[in-house]
Structure 1
C-alpha cells in the first residue's frame, strides 16, 4: 500500500506501483471529502467514485487535459503533459521536449528544427 498526503488528509493508494497515478488506477480514500474531481499531489485527475463501506473508492478515468498542459509544438519540459488527447510529452534532449503521437529514438527527418537525435523518453 502506498500513501500520500494532500490538503492535510491521508489518502491510501492500493494496488499501485510506486510512481504517478495513471488512467485505470484505483485509489481508496478514507475520511476525506470526495467529489467528481480530486487533487492528488498537485495533479488533477478525473475520477468516478462508489461506496466501499467506510472507504471511498475512486477509479481514475483519465488525466485532466487542463490549461497548464502544453499545446502541440510547444516545449512540454515543464508541464510534462499535452492538451491534445492521445499525445505524449517526449524528451528530445536537455533543452527540448515536445508533444507527439509517437517517438522513435534517434534522428527524426520530419523534425522542423532539424534531424537531431531524439531521446524519446516519455515525461509525465
Structure 2
C-alpha cells in the first residue's frame, strides 16, 4: 500500500533525527512541492501530521505529498542557507515567498569576537 498525506508523514516521523536540516515534499511525479527548514526535523515534520489546524493551501500540499526527502545539517544557519538555495533552484509550487530572486536573507557577520559569527 502506498502511503500519502498524513499517513506518509507519520511513517517518516519515527525515523527522523532531532537535528537541524531541510526537508522536501514531493508529489506522485517526484516534483518538489515544498522545501522547508527545521531547527529540529522531527518536531517540524510532526507539525504536518496533525489533521487539523492547517490552512487550505497547506492541507492541499499535504494531500499531494507522496514522498519526502531529508538533509541534516550541522546548524540551523546552514539549514537556512540550504533551504533558500534549494527554493531558488527548484522553484517549488508551495514556496511562494522565497521563490523569486528579489529577497535575500538578512545575515549579520560580526568581528567583535575572536572568530567571525553569523547572526540571523
Q: Give the TM interval when normalised to the shorter protein.
A: under 0.3
Relative contact order, CA 8 A, sep 6+: which one is greater? Answer: 2
Greater percentage in helix: 2
Greater percentage in strand: 1
